Structure 1
């Protein structure tokens, strides 16, 4: 089989050759790895894996919090053409055993906190980051550069979905897919050699390791924090050193409300990518005021199809100059991504009509592990269809209408949660919001808004919310129940877990304020 040029596993070698002393990986505790150091360690680790029989196509699992060592394992696998399986460390022991069995991995690298779970698995080798990692790395034989062995059709990653809508599925990610996602991200964000990047997503998530690869592709550096920590993130982002960061709205809100915000220096910050949840206009304006940098709103099925749409900095500037409706959109297609909106029969819908988002390009997955039925349902003639609903305006901007499985049907009327979240999220008392449907004997379903409050604000009543929505939402779309929570359940990407919310509401409706249906 003909090889296909450079793969991500070769990029460290390239930069080590030309900029050996440039920063590569920075740990939150102050440790710094240069490209020369990173190349030497990753190559030796790859040889250590070869020593125990790991080669092209073999599977290696990871279960741990973020660290430079975690990145080294992923990149060593890429050098070998091996397949890495980065596990969600928030899964229960039973879920981990299920996913490990499905993955076929016989080798695992793990954090100490997961030792008991790992010991219950039948594996060829288990390496603990805190105690056995350096010894394992040193076991590899000496040698020069490893020759490139990967092909663009090779599966470099099996990424299991968060499982919020059922059993997690193993997404097969090829080298072609990973390279295309990185190319799109680097171009959209305008990253430069030497840039320091921080992403709030964990490394097992597409956005987490994806941002490490963004930096690697450009010869930049990545700051690696074990887990999200608002104090530590503010210290780094406010140090003047970080050039780009990607965060979900809840993280941004924590930073904007941090008591030490005024002490931070954001002069070095050039851009912020946000996404994953509705962002009130007031928060966007506050971001511009505090951070003073370019803003990107990204939307996509990152695990299965990469970034599909982007609301770019120029769009944000238009919005803040008076066209605020733009902040209610999810942008236009990202570089290298073709997007259409389809009806249930697969035909493209006209502008203004709601359809399911379909995308194609090299960023689309190769399929689901051992599930040809699910693959056939999700990828149709090269188009990936995830179930997200949207409509397109005359300027080509897409407006999210929610997911097909989240649509609320109230008295025969289709209600899409996103448009309600956009409006109610603008209430001065609301910091975050999620809208779901709850069963109702009269209407079939009613609209319920779950909100987290801004500091110092009292909970709004259903009547308050109705008044806020007057003239902006039809009466049947206005939430009839308001539930106040201190925090939201979240999936690994930091997005609000609506399935879990509905389960919690069904178990404990005591915090609900009700208004008679209109």
Structure 2
């Protein structure tokens, strides 16, 4: 046995087959739900895995998951791992052009999609390259696809798969510096130790693959994980696997509805919730002071955030309502897995301070040498790191480097380090806008704006937003002969080209866009103008 995620999952199944593994609540509030034991989830994944192989897919080929949260999502990820196919997450907010790019860039051979997205999928398919096998979750006729229930029924519930490898891939697609998504290629063994904590994210990592199941068999149940964000974001899927490696129970909702999240915490005795910053924590606070006042949160031990920080103000409001719950701002990325957790003294005056693991450093981005105390640099990580970006050797060479005998990944976050080794994160090295945990890159939105016939030039920047952390704002210079063009027209224009969260929420019109003499964007100016609107 090796550090392969399917092998490790199956070892846990064999240790606790009758323990409840997954609770899925469909459209919150309807009462619809599914509950599966470890043995039932294993058999369900086996069925899909056999269907995929019987359909002509081969180990190493890529399968996209264009789905809302559901049993089918995790069942299909597990099926891919069992069959040695490579799972690829697809952002379900993407529109036709974005989907066509991702399907093609990821070399998808198969796609499992929710029927709700059928129209977008159908439009993207002609440009999808190698995509040849479609499975549809839910009723619908466009595009033609195998119904998921039929695919599941056609496969054997038994295992019977060939040997696997720790070198089998797991790809997590994330935003790129040009706005185009890029696929982070992880060996499963590296992902196990870096993104999944080595079988014990808060304790000593395992030293043998067999230890995962041994620890599960020796321990009890009673822990319930609840990742509130979409599974199509890497963090939620990795949270699910951490839960499975503990042999504990996972609860998921189809969509985030704050009142239903709180009711589920109370009913299912949830222990740990993961979410994305104030965008999710604030609605929970609003619900606790409104329709869900008095909800029993006594089972809840921790609420953790990845992808965006929970601000001090909202943390304080939540703590006043649930004083016994530990709030954790975690730091990591698709390229590094987990790096550390914010210190208790982090705040507006001191910045976002994190105690990092011993594989993380702050380095000079040019020399890759560690920076002196107090000097700014880029966060980097060594050891169990990805192989690079799929189909992007240039970006791989820019981001991954060799130092001595070790390979490192250079993250996009600027930071300083103090004498005690505590890292203060200063922000993205690029102009990335983080809106509710979603990454928005100005260049992509600018291109969409400038494709409007009335726009001469545009700059895009993030401005503060109470709920989302930042919101997308645009400063636009119109052509002299543009005629009447307003913010609503530009937003409508962008909506056909970009996912909804990338649409500028504010548009400021100016007579002249300020740039440097070389033509480079002056984003400080743009942010100042946009924030003053």
Give me the TM-score of the superposition, normalised by structure 2: 0.72
**2:192 is matched with which residue?**
179
Partners of 2:61 and 2:86 within 8 A in 1 = yes
Q: 1:380 aligns with which of 394, 401, 405?
A: 401
Partners of 2:183 and 2:390 within 8 A in 1 = yes
- What does residue range 230-269 of structure 1 map to in structure 2 within 5 Å? 230-239=258-267, 241-249=269-277, 250-258=279-287, 259-269=290-300
Q: 1:130 aligns with which of 113, 138, 142?
A: 138
- Indicate the larger mover: 15-24 or 117-126: 117-126
**2:5 is matched with which residue?**
8
Q: 2:420 aligns with which of 386, 395, 408?
A: 395
**CA 212–67 in structure 1, closer or farther in 2 if over 3 Å, else same:** same
Q: CA deviation at 1:307?
A: 1.6
What CA deviation, in whole Å up to 9, does each residue of 1:402-431 have, x standing for no partner? Answer: 122239xxxxxxxxx99xxxxxxxxxxxxx
What CA deviation, in whole Å up to 9, does each residue of 1:214-248 have, x standing for no partner? Answer: 11111112112112221221211233611111112
Q: 2:340 aligns with which of 284, 287, 309?
A: 309
Q: 2:374 aligns with which of 335, 352, 356?
A: 352
Q: Count matched residues.
A: 425
Counterparts of 1:453 and 1:91, CA distance in 2: 22
Q: Name the SS for the 1:204 alignment partner.
A: coil
Counterparts of 1:297 and 1:509, CA distance in 2: 26
Q: Name the SS for the 1:260 alignment partner.
A: coil
Partners of 1:358 and 1:384 within 8 A in 2 = yes
**2:356 is matched with which residue?**
333
Q: CA deviation at 1:12?
A: 3.6
Matched, 1:94 2:97: yes
**CA 51–244 in structure 1, closer or farther in 2 if over 3 Å, else same:** same
**1:467 is matched with which residue?**
none
Counterparts of 1:78 and 1:448, CA distance in 2: 38
**CA 193–185 in structure 1, closer or farther in 2 if over 3 Å, else same:** farther
Q: Name the SS for the 2:163 alignment partner.
A: coil
Question: Alignment RMSD, CA only?
Answer: 3.5
Q: CA deviation at 1:160?
A: 2.1
**2:496 is matched with which residue?**
none
Matched, 1:290 2:321: yes
Counterparts of 2:36 and 2:9, CA distance in 1: 12
Partners of 1:6 and 1:148 within 8 A in 2 = no
What CA deviation, in whole Å up to 9, does each residue of 1:129-159 have, x standing for no partner? Answer: 11411111111246x433453212221x232
Q: CA deviation at 1:97?
A: 1.1
Q: Greater relative contact order (Cα 8 A, min sep 6): structure 1 or 2? A: 2
Counterparts of 2:347 and 2:75, CA distance in 1: 43
**CA 505–369 in structure 1, closer or farther in 2 if over 3 Å, else same:** farther
Q: CA deviation at 1:297?
A: 1.5
Q: CA deviation at 1:509?
A: 10
Q: CA deviation at 1:345?
A: 2.9
Q: CA deviation at 1:501?
A: 5.5
Question: Which runs of no fewer than 5 residues in structure 1 stay unpaired?
Answer: 408-416, 419-433, 437-444, 455-495
Q: CA deviation at 1:348?
A: 1.7
Q: Name the SS for the 2:247 alignment partner.
A: coil
Q: Name the SS for the 2:466 alignment partner.
A: strand
Give me the TM-score of the superposition, normalised by structure 1: 0.74
- What does residue range 44-193 of structure 1 map to in structure 2 within 5 Å? 44-120=47-123, 121=125, 123-131=131-139, 132-141=147-156, 144-147=158-161, 149-155=163-169, 157-163=170-176, 165-184=178-197, 187-189=200-202, 193=221
**CA 505–175 in structure 1, closer or farther in 2 if over 3 Å, else same:** farther
- Indicate the larger mover: 211-220 or 109-118: 109-118
**CA 148–103 in structure 1, closer or farther in 2 if over 3 Å, else same:** same
**CA 511–352 in structure 1, closer or farther in 2 if over 3 Å, else same:** closer
Partners of 1:343 and 1:349 within 8 A in 2 = no
Partners of 1:77 and 1:83 within 8 A in 2 = yes
Partners of 1:194 and 1:218 within 8 A in 2 = no
Counterparts of 2:180 and 2:348, CA distance in 1: 37
Partners of 2:50 and 2:156 within 8 A in 1 = yes
- What does residue range 267-282 of structure 1 map to in structure 2 within 5 Å? 267-282=298-313
Q: CA deviation at 1:162?
A: 2.8
